[in-house]
Structure 1
Amino acid sequence: MNIQRLSWAGIRIEAGGTAVLIDPVTRIPDRFGGAREPMHPLRTYGEADVVLVTHLHEDHFDPDAIIEAFGADIPVYVPSAMADSARAKGLTNVIGADVGESFALGNGVKAAALPSVDGVGDVQAAWTVEACGRRAIHCGDTLWHGYWWGIAAQYGPFDAAFLPVNGAVLQLPGRLPSGQPICLTPEQAVAAAAILTAGMLVPIHYGTVHYPPVYTETPDIAARLAAASEGKVDVRMLKAGESVALG
């Protein structure tokens, strides 16, 4: 199993001749200041057979880019409650996934939708992908929750966990600010990876967006990951386009 990090929170998994994209995007919304790093067309990273989406926020779901790169009929798996909304964006082969539901993606590659908790109360799912005796999990932009132990018991151990680390604090119009992170902080991501019995933690969802006071990324991410992970989990910080081979 070969896993390539894409821009922002996206990854590409290739195993057994099947290529799976999770949360591939080519843009960051202007209301969050746009992207501070280059965002590349999805074809830059190669072909895709299937797309898995954790939730429909614009920085995780880019239907125009998916259609442009792979056509409207590529299979796109989304949380069931969001399936009609995804179809309304022009995708013609949307499959709704309930938490706990598993899917055969072809050539021995399997995926399952797992619990995840969105920081603003929207529907979200994590995805685990298994192939060639290896297993990876991508948790979208989850915040801390109590499902980690159950996921580890039923689906673990994992060779790699792709977790958000930027602990972003939002200040949105019409909403009373909480001052609390809407996704995992570096320390929380390390704790989650350890509970998930992940062989490595690959941080995602950091570096590209920082637009205070609307979207404020937590500081000193790399140093805090290094300090928190010592003796607990191997942290592999990949740039967009870089890959890691599992097994």
Structure 2
Amino acid sequence: MNIQKLPWAGIRLESATTAVVIDPLYHFPGHFGQPHEPLSPLDAFGSVDAILITHHHSDHFDPKAIALFYGDDIPVYMPAESLELIQPGKLKNIRGVNRGESIQLGDMTVTATYSVDGVGDPQVAWIVQSGQKKAIHCGDTLWHGYWWSIARSFGPFDVACLPVNGAVVELSGLTPSGQPISMNPEQAIAAANILGVTQLIPIHYGLIHHPPVYRQTPELLERLQAAAGEEVNVRFLHTGERINI
């Protein structure tokens, strides 16, 4: 399996016959100020057979870009609970998936599993398996107690793509909590340990930092390396970079 990093939380996975992309982003959400990294046209990363969306927030679900770069009839899979919350735009082939449900995409088996959203919206993590290779993408989840269940049911994993930016937000309509709405570096390392991953690919950092609306946790790369020690292999990928597992 080939894994390629896209901007922000985006990941493209390619097997011998099939390619999928998770949470592709091109149109930057304006309420977060200006992007701190460039956003590239999605077709620059290659074609795909299906789109997997962890949740409907605008930094993870970009229907305009999906239609523009992949076509308006490409299959898009997302949490079933999200279907009534979205504006699909031109997309004609959006399908809801329940947690615990598996779908077959070419030679890939894709399963929706537990994820916990920082503001209480529907969210799933996606497990993608092709042959003996297995990856999990956890969106922008909080720390939660389902890691052990995921590990028992599906682990170990060759790769885990985990959020690391520990974002604290002050969003319109929400009383500020001062608490992170996504995992911080130390929590990502702890989750990777429980999941039994061979490699951790950090996602969901760098692109957005717009205090006080959205504040990324400080010194996250150094903290990741310190927390990982000799126990977790952290693989930092630049946008467009690929690895084979």
TM-score past 0.5 threshold: yes
Q: Which residue of 1 aligns with 2:58?
A: 58
Contact kept, 8 Å, 1:27 with 1:35, in 2: the verdict is no
Does residue 110 (structure 1) correspond to residue 117 (structure 2)? The answer is: no
5+ residue gaps in structure 2? none
- Which range moved further: 127-136 or 82-91? 82-91
Cα distance in 1 between the residues matched to 2:210 and 2:128: 33
Cα drift, residue 86 of structure 1: 4.5
Give the 4+ runs in structure 1 shifted more than 2 A.
83-90
Q: Which residue of 2 aligns with 1:166?
A: 165
What is the TM-score when the length of structure 2 is the normalising length?
0.98
Cα distance in 1 between the residues matched to 2:57 and 2:146: 22
Q: Which residue of 2 aligns with 1:31?
A: 31
Cα distance in 2 between the residues matched to 1:65 and 1:226: 34
Cα distance in 1 between the residues matched to 2:87 and 2:176: 32
Cα distance in 2 between the residues matched to 1:82 and 1:170: 22
SS in 1 for 2:14: strand
Q: Which residue of 2 aligns with 1:16?
A: 16
Cα drift, residue 90 of structure 1: 2.4
Contact kept, 8 Å, 2:20 with 2:49, in 1: the verdict is yes
- Structural mapping, 1:201-216, within 5 Å: 201-216=200-215
Q: Which residue of 2 aligns with 1:69?
A: 69
Cα drift, residue 56 of structure 1: 0.5
Contact kept, 8 Å, 1:200 with 1:234, in 2: the verdict is yes
What is the TM-score when the length of structure 1 is the normalising length?
0.97
Q: Which residue of 1 aligns with 2:93?
A: 93
Cα drift, residue 88 of structure 1: 3.5
CA RMSD of aligned residues (A): 1.0
5+ residue gaps in structure 1? none
Contact kept, 8 Å, 1:87 with 1:94, in 2: the verdict is no
Cα drift, residue 81 of structure 1: 1.1
Q: Which residue of 2 aligns with 1:242?
A: 241
Cα distance in 2 between the residues matched to 1:159 and 1:188: 19
Cα drift, residue 173 of structure 1: 2.3
Q: Percent identity?
A: 54
Contact kept, 8 Å, 1:49 with 1:74, in 2: the verdict is yes
Contact kept, 8 Å, 1:164 with 1:183, in 2: the verdict is yes
Contact kept, 8 Å, 2:27 with 2:65, in 1: the verdict is no
- 2:123 is aligned with what amino acid? Q
Q: Which residue of 2 aligns with 1:47?
A: 47
Cα distance in 2 between the residues matched to 1:215 and 1:21: 25
Q: Deviations over 1:56-78 (max 9, x none)?
A: 10000011111011111101000
Q: Deviations over 1:19-72 (max 9, x none)?
A: 100000103211111311000111010101010000010000011111011111
SS in 1 for 2:112: strand
Q: Deviations over 1:95-128 (max 9, x none)?
A: 110000000001x211000010000111100000
Cα distance in 2 between the residues matched to 1:20 and 1:100: 19
Cα distance in 2 between the residues matched to 1:174 and 1:142: 21
Cα distance in 2 between the residues matched to 1:192 and 1:110: 22
Q: Which residue of 2 aligns with 1:182?
A: 181
Cα drift, residue 227 of structure 1: 0.5
Cα distance in 2 between the residues matched to 1:104 and 1:44: 25
- 1:203 is aligned with what amino acid? P
SS in 1 for 2:139: coil
Q: Which residue of 2 aligns with 1:226?
A: 225
* Change beyond 3 A, Cα 1:87–1:219: closer
Cα distance in 2 between the residues matched to 1:90 and 1:136: 30
Q: Which residue of 2 aligns with 1:139?
A: 138
Contact kept, 8 Å, 1:27 with 1:34, in 2: the verdict is no
Cα distance in 2 between the residues matched to 1:177 and 1:81: 25
